[in-house]
Structure 1
C-alpha cells in the first residue's frame, strides 16, 4: 500500500472536508461565531505560525523540495525566517497588498453579517465555485499544475467549457440557497425596511465570497508556481500574521466605547475554549486547503468546501427537527432536495468533464469524478434521511395538552382551598411548609374567609420567594432595606409600618408616587395586625436582584437550617419584641443631597445585553446556557424550547420562564438584549417587585397597577362569546426594551407585529378565495373595504381599519367564522435612539412621513375573541382584565407575577413560547376546529379570575406575605409562630 506522502492531495482533501464538517457542526452553538473579530484574529494568528511550520516539515520530509538549509532549524531561526524573509521579499508586492485587503475586508464584512444575521441568506457559500469560475474567466494568466505541467486555461475550448461550468455552478448555488430557504424555521427577527444598511447584508455576503474567490485563486497560483515553495508558505504566514495585527488594531480602536471594551476583553472561559477549538479547526482546514491547492484546481477545493458545509448544515437541521417541521409536504421535499441533488451532481460531473487533464502515469492528479461521487453519496443520504423522517403533513394540535392540564388545574384548585377551619389551615400549613404559621395567622385566616378567598392553603410562591432570606440575618435584612430607602437614585419607594399605622417614605419621584399610594391603600385594612417594619418597593419596571447560584444555594441551605430549628420549638412567641439594632430612621429627614448619592451595590446596565452577565451566573454549570451559545438570532433553537414544549406547544408554563435551558433568548427579548432601565445587584437585597424574571430573586407582590384598576372593563360589561369577532387583536407600544444599534429587530413585540403583518396577507388571500363563491351578497366595494388596511397605514402596517369594525369586516370575520387578524403598533416610537426610531417608523408604518395609528379606547379589546398579551419592559398589566373579559387570552412572557401559581396554562389562558413559533398553530386551532375549546378556556378563565383575582384576593396575598416577612426581619424569628390552643405566648 502506498504511503500517505504518495497521495498528499487525497489526505489533504479528507482533512479539509473533516475540519469543514466539524466547524459547521458547531455553527449554531459555538461562542466563536458570536465573536467574529476574536475568532478571525485567533485563527489568523494560528495560521501565521502554522503555515511556515508545516512548510518546514514538508520540505524536510518530501524529496520533491530542496531544503533551504541543512538540519532542523532552531526556534529562533525558524521565527526569523517567518518574519524577515517573507517581509523582505514579498511584503511590498501588489499581491501581498491585495490579499491583505481581501482578508481584512472579508473579516469586517463577516462581522457585519453576524451582527445582522437575521438579514442574511443561508447557503450563499454554495456560490463560491461560481465566483471562482468567473474569476478564472476574467484572469488571463495561465495556471500551471506542477505535477502535470499542463495549462488548463490554455486547453482548446477551455473558455467555453468554463462558461458552461459557471452556469452549472450558478444553478448549484441557487438550488442550495433555495433548499435551505425551504427548510428555514425562523424566530421572526426583522430585517428593517429599506433604505437601511441591514438590507444590504446579502450583498455583503456575496462580496465576501468574491473576496474569498480572489484569495483562493491567488493562493493557488502561488502554490502552483513551482518556485520558492518555502517562501510561498512563509509569505502566506506573514499575510495572516499581518491580518491579525490589523484586525487587533481595529478591535482596540473600537474598545474605546465602554460596551465594546467589556465585550472585547471580558471573555468567559467557555468563550475562550470555543474560540481556541474552532480556531484550531479552521487553521487545520486552511493548512490542508493550502496544501491541496498545490495539486488541484481551486474550483475543486471550493466544491469540497461547499458540499461539506451544506451537507453538514442540512444534517444539522434534520437532526434538530427543523426540516421535519418545515418539509411537511412532498412538493417541498421533491423541489428542495431533488433540485439540490440534481444540481450538485451536474456541477461535479460538469467540472470533471471540463477540466479533465491528460496524464502520463497512474499517479496523476486526483480525479474530479471522485468529488462527484462524494456529492452523489452525500446528498443521496440527505434525500433518504429526509424521506424517512418527513412527517408527511402531520400537524399536531394542543388538544391532548389541554385535557391533561385541565385535570391538573382542577386538582390544584380543589387542594388550594380544602381547609374549612382555622385548625385545619394550621395543620395544612405545617404539613406543606414544615414550620408553624407566623403570628397573627388567625387574623389572616379570618380576613381571607371574610372575603371568600378560594385559596387558603397554597401559597407556595411566597415560600419560594422568601426561603433565601431565611439564610440572611434579620439585622442584615433591616440594614439592607434601609440602604435601599436612603438612596433615592435606586428608584425605590418605601412603606413604613409602626404601631399599626402606615406612612410612605420621602424621596420618591412624583411620577411614581401613585404606586406607593395604591400600595398603602392595599395594606391599610390589615396594618394593625402587622409588626413594625420598613419595606422597599421597586419603582422601575425591570427586576433588580440577581444572585449567583453558588451564593443562592448557600442562602437556601442556611434558610432550611433556620426553618428546621423553628420547626422544633414547642413554645412559640408572637410579634412585639424590640430589634437590635432597631429600624433606622435618619434618612427620613435627609436633605436633597441624598439624591446625588450612588449605591456601590447596584450597577447600571441599561441599553446593553444582560444575559451573559446576569443570567448565566444564576444557572447550574451543566445547564445549556453554560454549555453552548445560540448566537444566531434568526434561527429557532428547537432544543432550547424542548424541555417545556410538547408537539410544538407549551406544556410546562413554569419551566418556559427558566432561562437556564434557553441560551437563544439572549437575543430575543428586549429586557435581556437592551433594557430601558436596569440597575441590578448580585447581593440579596430585600426588594419587592411587581414582576421578575425566573432567574432573579426579587420578592413578588400584587401590582399597584392592577389593584388600582388602571385598566379595567368599564361597568363590568362584557360581550358574549358568540357576539365577538373571531379575530386576533393587539394594540400597543414597542416598550419591551430601548432600541439602539438595531436591537429592536428581535424584540418580542416587534417580532409579533411583524409576524402578524405577514400572516394577515395569507389570511386575506384565503378569505377572499373562500368568500367569493359563498357570500354573493357582499359587494366588491365592501369586500375590498374588509380586506384592505386603512389609508392611514401603509401596506406594511399590520392593522385593519382602526375605527369600529364595519359591517363588511364583521361579515369577513363571521362568515363561516373565519379568523381575522387585527394587530398594530400605535403612536410614535420613543424608547429608541434617533436612527432606530426612524427605522421602526419606516418598517411598521411604511414611510418617514406616515402618520402613526392613534391609540384606541381600551374597551375595543372586548369585541375580539383572541387577545394577545406580551411582555413590555416588565409584565403586562392588561392580562388580568383580559382574563375577566370572556375573550381568550394568549400570553407570551418571561416575567412572572404573584398570581402565577393560581392561573393555569391551557385551563385559563393559552401559553405561548416567546419565540412565537407556536403562535399561529395555536391560533389556527383555537380559531377554527378548536373554537369550542377556546370558548371553554375563555369562560373558565373569566370565572376563575372573578373568584381569585379580585382586589380582595390581592389583599389576602399581601397580608400573608407581610406576616411572613415580619417574622423574617425579627431577631427572634426562630421562636415566632402561631399555634392553635393558646400555646402562642
Structure 2
C-alpha cells in the first residue's frame, strides 16, 4: 500500500492485511465474544504489551526507518502526504475516543437485534470527508509545477486528460471511495434477519443512532491516530506511543466498566461468560497479538500514504470476501439476493481499480496495482458468469415439500417392514441378536413377545430408542447403578417406582401433586409386573429432563458397553456426533456446583459440554442474534434453508449454537438442577443433550383431562382452514425470553403490522411458466394478511411488565377456541419454561397426540423427543417446522394456497391470485395432500400410539432395565424350552 514502497514497507503492508483477515475470520468463533467488555480490556492490554515489546526490536521491523530500508536516523516524512503537526491534547483525546467507542460498541451489541448491518462499510467516506475539508494539505502527486507543465504541453490528448483525471483528481477519489463503500455495504447488509425480537421497548432508533455515532468516532480515532503517529521521530517512539494508547485505553475502559458495575449493577453489561480458562487466555493472547501486528504494521506505513488508503483497502478486501461468499451460495437463503451480491462485486471491482490509481497506491501488500486491477477484471468476469448461471438455476420445478412427502411415503413403508419382521418368537429372538450386537434378549422375553402380540402391537423388532437410552449403563457396574438409584431418588422432583415380588408401587404420598401420575404409571406396570425382577426406577416428574453428563463420559461408558458384548451394529437414535476424542474430566467449578441452584450461564456451559469437541456449540455460544444463521439450518434443510427435511437433526443443538437464544429451555435456570453424572433417571421427554431414559409417563394435565377427551372424527373439508395455536406465557419471563422465547417469537412474527420491514423467504410460482417457481423475499406483514393464521396468547404473565413494556409483542391475546380441533391445522410448540415453574399449561391447545388422533394436520416445532418420536415420520404423520419459523409461512402456503384479498393495500380486490412483489401470483392449495397427512397420522396413531402400545413399550424398558441392574448380567439372557431351537428355526425361515 505504498508509493514506491521498499521491500520493508511491502512486508508491513502484507502483515497488516494478513492480521486484518485473520481477525475478521476468527474472532467471532472465540470465547472472547461471550464477554466483550472484559475481553476488549484484556486484548487491549495484550496488544499494548506486544507493541511496547516491539519498540525494543524496532531496528528489525520492516517499514520506514527499519531494517529493510536504506534510510536511517530520524524520519524524513514527505510533507505533501503528512498532516499538520499534532496538538498536545490529541493523545488524551484519542484515548478518550477509544474508550467512548468501546462503550458504544457494547451498548449496540447488547441490543444487536435492533441494529443495522453494514454500517461499518461507510468508514472510508468519513475519512474522505475529512481529506476534502478546506485547509488540508495537497494530495500526493498534485503540484502547481506539474499543472503548469501540463497546461503548456500542446501534444496532450483527451486520453491523457482522462487518465490524469482518473489518477489525480479529487472527483476520482470520491467516486472510487463511494463505489467501494457502497459495494461493501450491499455485500454485508442483505442477510435474512432472525426471528429474535426487536421490540419498541428496545428503542431501535437509539441503537442505530449509536451505530452511526460509532462510525464517526471510528473516523476520529483513525485520523487522530494517524496524526499522532505520523510525526513520530523514530520507529521506537512511534511504537511506544502506540503501546501507550493501547494500555491507557484498557485502563480507562476498565475504570468505566467497574464504575458501571458499581453504580448500575442491573445494567445488561455482558453476555454469559464461561470464565477465564486456558483456551480463553490463548484467545486473548492470539487476538491481542493480531491487533498489535495490525496497528504496528499500519503505523509503520503512516509516512507513506493517508489513512484513506489503508481504510479503503481494508474495506475493499472485506467487502469482496463477503460479496463472493454470498454470490457463490446456491440453494441458500441468501441466494435470492445474488443480484445484489453481483452488484456489490461490480462496484468493489470498479471502485478498487480506480481507487489504487486515484490514491497513487503502487502496491496492495505484495501485489502490484497492475496485477490487482487485472485480478479485479477477472473477478468481474467470473462474477458475471456465476450470476448468469445462478439465475438459470434459481427456478424450482418440483416443490420441496412435494418431494419430501413422496419420500416420507417410501420411508413409512420401509419402517413398518423393518419394525415388524418377526412373525414368531424364535425369529424375534434371532432378530434381536442380529440388531443388537449378538446379545441374547433379556429374560422373560417370551412373555413380552406374547404381551405385544396379544395387544396387536405393530412394532415387534424396532426398539432402538430403548437400546440407545440404556446402552451407556452397560459400562457402569450394577452395584454402582443401584447405589446411584438410591442417591437420585432423594433429588427434588424424582419419585421411586419399586417392583418387588411381582408387584409395582411408588414412593409418593397421596396428597402429593404428581401422585396421580405415578398411580397411572403403577397401573400400567402392574399389568406385567409378575414377569419382572425386583428393581427400582427413579421417575422424573418435572417437564425438564434431568441427566446432563458431558459427551466424554457418555462415550467412555458406551465404549465399555461395546467391550461387553454390544457390537458395532447398534442403533444411532439420538447419536451424539463424533467418536474419537478421549475422556476429559468435568471442569472443577462445575463439579463443585451445588445441587440447590444453577445459573443460566452454568447451565448453558453444561449443555455445551454434552456436544463433541469441534462442534459449533461446544466451541462457543452464538452471539449474532440479529442475522439468520444459515450454517445452523443447512444440514437439516432443503429449499433455501426454509423447508425442514431432517426433523431429527433439527432437534440436535450441537451444530445449532443459535438455539441458546431461541428457546426458553436454554436461557432459564431450571428449578431442579440437572445431574452432571451418568445416573439412571426415567423421564417423559428430553432433548438430544440429555441422557434420561424415555418412558410413556402421563402428565398431570393428561391424567386430569383424560376422561373428558373425545376422539375427533369430523370431516377435514368442513373444518376451518386456519393454523391454530394458543399458549399461556410462562410465569415471570426474563428479558431473554421476551426477546427469544419460542412462543413469544411466534406470536410476534405472525402479527407484524404493515410498518414492519421484515421479509420472509417464499417459493413463488412464476407466471410465465406454471410449473416453475423461484424463491423471493416477501414482506412478512403482507403474508400474515394473506395466510390463515389464528395464533395468539390465551393469557400473559401478570407478574411481569411484558404487556406494557413490549406492546407490539404481547397485546395479541385471543381466547382459546372451545373446539380447537375444528381447525384444519394445529401447531404444537414446546411448553414454556421458567425458573419458577415448568410452564403455564397448554393455554387451550390440544395435546400433540390428541391432534394426531384427529382429522386435523399436526404442525410440530419442537426440540423434545418422546417414547413414540421414532415411530413417527415427518411429512407422513405430521408437518415439521423449524424452531426459527423461517419456513412457517411457506409451509402453510403450500397446503392452503394464497388468494388475493380486498384491503387498503389491494384496492382492486384480487380474487384469482395474490399480489406479490408487484405482480399477481396464483398459488393453488393442496388440500388433498393435507387431508392425506391428517388421515395417515390418525390411522397410524390409532395403531401404534395407543394405551396398549405404551404398555408394550414400558414392558420392554423394564425388561431391559431389570437385566442391567442385576449382578451377573453378562450371563443373563432369554433361555427356555421354547427357544432352544431358535437358531435352527430362524435359519429355516430365512431360507
- Which interval holds the TM-score relative to the shorter structure? 0.7 to 0.9
Work out whether residues 617 and 654 of structure 2, in 8 Å CA contact, stay in contact via their aligned partners in 1: yes
Partner of 1:640: 632
- Return the alpha-carbon distance in structure 2 between the equivalents of residues 163 and 836 of structure 1: 53
Match of 1:857 among 807, 817, 842: 817
Q: Is the CA contact 1:492–1:508 (under 8 Å) kept in the aligned structure 2?
A: no
1:174–1:861 distance in 2 versus 1, CA, 3 Å:
farther
Give, in whole Å, the separation in 2 of the partners of 1:45 and 1:599. 32
Is this contact kept in 1: 2:479–2:967, CA < 8 A?
yes
Query: Paired residue for 2:790, among 822, 827, 830?
Result: 822
Superposition pairs of residues 343-492 of structure 1, within 5 angstroms: 345=350, 349=354, 382=383, 384-390=385-391, 392-395=393-396, 396-433=399-436, 434-487=438-491, 490-492=492-494
Asked if 2 retains the 8 angstrom alpha-carbon contact of 1:728 and 1:867, the reply is: yes
Residue 959 (structure 1) aligned to one of 948, 955, 959? 955
Q: Cα 1:535–1:384, aligned 2, differ >3 Å: closer, same or farther?
A: same
- Give deviations 1:354-392, integer Å, cap 9, x for gaps: x789xxx99xxx999999888777666555544444455
Using a 3 Å threshold, how does the CA distance of structure 1 residues 302 and 515 change in structure 2: closer, same or farther? Answer: same
1:338 and 2:343 correspond: yes
1:729 alignment counterpart: 724
CA positional deviation for 1:561:
4.2
2:695–2:954 contact (8 Å) kept in structure 1: yes
CA positional deviation for 1:683? 0.9
Deviation digits for residues 865-912 of structure 1, max 9, x if unmatched?
A: 353444644898822112112222222222111111211122211223
1:761-803 superposed Cα distances (whole Å, 9 cap, x missing partner): 999999xxx9xxxxxxxxxxxxxxxxxxxxxxxx999999xxx
Match of 1:247 in 2: 253
Which has more helix, going by share of residues? 1
User: What are the superposed Cα offsets for residues 647-682 of structure 1, whole Å, 9 maximum, x if unpaired?
Assistant: 443333333323333333333332223345351122
- How far did 1:229 drift? 6.0
**Superposed CA RMSD:** 4.6
Using the size of structure 1 for normalisation, the TM-score is 0.76
Equivalent position of 1:291 in the other structure: 300
Q: Note if 1:530 corresponds to 2:562.
A: no
Deviation at 1:536, TM superposition (A): 1.7
Per-residue CA deviation, residues 554-578 of structure 1 (Å, 9 max, x unaligned), is 322333444569x9xxxxxxxxxxx
2: CA distance, partners of 1:493 / 1:97? 65
Aligned match of 2:549 in 537, 547, 550? 547
Distance 1:52 1:562, change over 3 A: closer
**CA distance, structure 2, for counterparts of residue 962 and residue 864 of structure 1:** 39
Which piece of structure 1 moves more, 534-543 or 946-955? Answer: 534-543
Pairing 1:670–2:664 present: yes
Structure 2 counterpart SS, 1:865: strand
What is the TM-score of this pair, normalised by structure 2? 0.75
Distance (Å, rounded) in 2 between the aligned partners of 1:691 and 1:166: 62
Q: Does 1:897 align with 2:897?
A: no
Distance 1:203 1:529 in 2: 71
Counterpart for residue 867 of structure 1: 827
Secondary structure, counterpart of 2:520 in structure 1:
helix
1:619-650 deviation digits (Å, cap 9, x = unpaired): 33344444676432333333333333344433
* SS, match of residue 469 in structure 1: helix
Structure 1 residues 398, 177: closer, same or farther in 2, change over 3 A?
same
Q: Does structure 1 residue 326 correspond to structure 2 residue 328?
A: no
Size of the aligned set, in residue pairs, is 855
Q: Judge conservation of contact 1:718–1:862 (CA < 8 Å) in 2.
A: no
User: Contact conserved, 2:353 with 2:373, CA < 8 A, in 1?
Assistant: yes
Partner of 2:37: 37
Q: Aligned equivalents of 2:829 and 2:754: distance in 1?
A: 18
SS at match of 1:695: coil
1:313 to 305, 317, 322: 322
1:184 aligns with 2:191: yes
Tell me which of 742, 748, 753 is aligned to 1:748: 742
Name the stretch that deviates more: 504-513 or 281-290: 504-513
Give 5+ residue unaligned stretches, structure 1: 69-88, 152-156, 568-597, 771-794, 801-817
- CA 728–34 in structure 1, closer or farther in 2 if over 3 Å, else same: same
Q: Distance in 2 between matches of 1:198 and 1:739?
A: 22
Question: What's the counterpart of residue 811 of structure 1?
Answer: none
Select the residue among 855, 877, 880 that pairs with 1:908: 877
2:706, 2:808 → 1: CA distance? 29
SS of the counterpart of 1:702?
coil
The worse-fitting range, judged by mean Cα deviation, of 548-557 and 129-138 is 129-138
Q: C-alpha distance in 1, partners of 2:239/2:36?
A: 25
1: CA distance between counterparts of 2:830 and 2:95?
48
Q: Give the structure 2 partner of residue 281 of structure 1.
A: 290
Q: Does 1:610 align with 2:626?
A: no
CA contact (8 A) 1:693 1:894 kept: yes
Aligned to 2:684: 690
Among 943, 959, 971, the alignment partner of 2:967 is 971
Q: How many angstroms does 1:742 deviate by?
A: 3.3
Equivalent pair of 1:757/1:797 in contact (CA under 8 Å): no
Distance in 2 (alpha carbons) for counterparts of 1:377 and 1:32: 38
Cα distance change of structure 1 residues 502 and 339 upon mapping to structure 2, 3 Å threshold:
closer
Helix, strand or coil: the match of 1:537? strand
Summarize the Cα distance change of 1:334–1:640 in structure 2 as closer, same or farther, 3 Å threshold.
Answer: closer
Does residue 883 of structure 1 match 2:852?
A: yes
* Distance of aligned partners of 1:530 and 1:888 in 2 relative to their CA distance in 1, 3 Å threshold: same
The 1:511–1:661 alpha-carbon spacing in structure 2 relative to 1, beyond 3 Å, is same
Q: Is the 8 A contact 1:470 1:968 kept in 2?
A: yes
CA shift for structure 1 position 916: 3.1
Q: Give a deviation string over 1:325-375, Cα, whole Å, max 9, x none.
A: 3343xxx5556643774488469858976x789xxx99xxx9999998887
SS in 2 for 1:448: helix
Query: In the alignment, which of 227, 231, 238 is matched to residue 244 of structure 2?
Result: 238
Assess if the C-alpha contact under 8 Å between 2:320 and 2:345 holds in 1: no
Match for 2:90 among 83, 90, 95? 95
Q: 1:368 to 1:115 in 2, by over 3 A?
A: farther
Structure 1 residue 939 corresponds to structure 2 residue 940: no
CA distance in 2, matches of 1:399, 1:221: 64
Report the Cα offset of residue 856 of structure 1: 0.5
The CA deviation at 1:52 is: 4.7
Q: In 1, distance between residues paired with 2:368 and 2:746?
A: 52
TM-superposed CA distance for 1:944, in Å, is 0.4
Q: Distance in 1 between matches of 2:203 and 2:889?
A: 30
Q: CA deviation at 1:687?
A: 1.0
Distance 1:335 1:641 in 2: 23
Q: Is the 8 A contact 2:616 2:656 kept in 1?
A: yes
SS at match of 2:809: helix
- The match for 2:809 is 844
